[in-house]
Amino acid sequence: TACGGGGGGSASAADGTITMGFSQVGAESGWRTANTKSVQESAKAAGIQLKFSDAQQKQENQIKAIRSFIQQKVDVIAFSPVVESGWDTVLKEAKNAKIPVILTDRAVDSKDTSLYKTFLGSDFVEEGRKAGNWLVEQYKDAKDPVNIVELQGTTGSAPANDRKAGFAEVIGKDAKFKVIASQSGDFTRAKGKEVMEAFLKAHPDIDVLYAHNDDMGLGAIEAIEGAGKKPGVDIKIITVDAVRDGMQALADGKINFIVECSPLLGGQLMDLAKKVVKGESVPARVVTEETTFTQEQAKQALPTRQY
């Protein structure tokens, strides 16, 4: 039916079935694939009808998808914003249509926090700090400069901004840590490899690679091996996510440390959606619980890793 449901502008089915419009970033990484699966399976389990849209890493596609969800009068919109800025107009349109919005995984920088009901996802600054703390501990007795290259995530995205900031905050306390190159690899394996190849050509003296996700780190490993160096030994590698392929490389000694970022947000997202559709209050921020993995811990965790 196309008639407006009570209270909001929604077209809730007569049987009370909730329809959620979900705009996903894309399919850029193993993390994203696991996140999509989690959202789709959890919607099914919760009896929520999901309208899923893949933005292929483009903000304009997400804005189009959100506008289409508004037109279709879904009950709730959830999305993982590819970048932080530029959402106010479309979020105001959703608010005017009385459709609640839930941010999942990534934040927006809108000053008006009434434009969304809650934000479910990781603390990306803390993830960056965890990466930095491990490095500081590893090199605590070193006197010489430690030359670091950084593969950043998608330019302007919350995880790229925050993982860079958290890491810089920690290593910035000791001048021996030097970030000699830092560039975006767009969270993909192919870009990670390409940028690492350029880093290796320009800098013969790289000690450490900090990659904002496993996929870029895995691409970089190919570049390092291609340059005749041993990943994990000649160049120490820290990544973020802890997806299966990353954990395998960690267990194999090619990565040295992984900061976990959990993609399994679907269950919590569906619970929050049910509450906001009913008009119940929800916490403004729900932070995902996460850990870190050393090579030994990866070996233990791998057999039961879900993704």
Does residue 268 bind ligand AHR (CB under 6 A)? no
Does residue 55 bind ligand AHR (CB under 6 A)? no
Query: What are residue 149's DSSP bridge partners?
Result: 181, 209
Distance CA 146, CA 86 (A): 37
Query: Nearest approach, Cβ of 25 to ligand AHR (angstroms)?
Result: 7
Does residue 261 bind ligand AHR (CB under 6 A)? yes
Stretch that binds ligand AHR, among 29-37, 47-55, 96-104, 129-137 (CB under 6 A): 29-37
Does residue 28 bind ligand AHR (CB under 6 A)? yes
Does residue 150 bind ligand AHR (CB under 6 A)? no
Does residue 83 bind ligand AHR (CB under 6 A)? no
In the bound state with ligand AHR, the residue whose beta carbon lies nearer, of 105 and 150, is 105
In the bound state with ligand AHR, the residue whose beta carbon lies nearer, of 75 and 105, is 105
Residue of 100, 159, 217, 219 that binds ligand AHR (CB under 6 A): 159
Stretch that binds ligand AHR, among 23-31, 168-176, 250-258, 289-297 (CB under 6 A): 23-31
In the bound state with ligand AHR, the residue whose beta carbon lies nearer, of 147 and 161, is 161
Does residue 23 bind ligand AHR (CB under 6 A)? no
Distance CA 199, CA 183 (A): 9
In the bound state with ligand AHR, the residue whose beta carbon lies nearer, of 75 and 241, is 241
Query: Nearest approach, Cβ of 261 to ligand AHR (angstroms)?
Result: 5
Residues 95-114 that bind ligand AHR (CB under 6 A): 105-106
Distance CA 27, CA 12 (A): 30
In the bound state with ligand AHR, the residue whose beta carbon lies nearer, of 128 and 159, is 159
Query: Nearest approach, Cβ of 259 to ligand AHR (angstroms)?
Result: 10
Where along the sequence are the contacts to ligand AHR (CB under 6 A)? 28-29, 31-32, 105-106, 159, 187, 213, 215, 240-241, 261
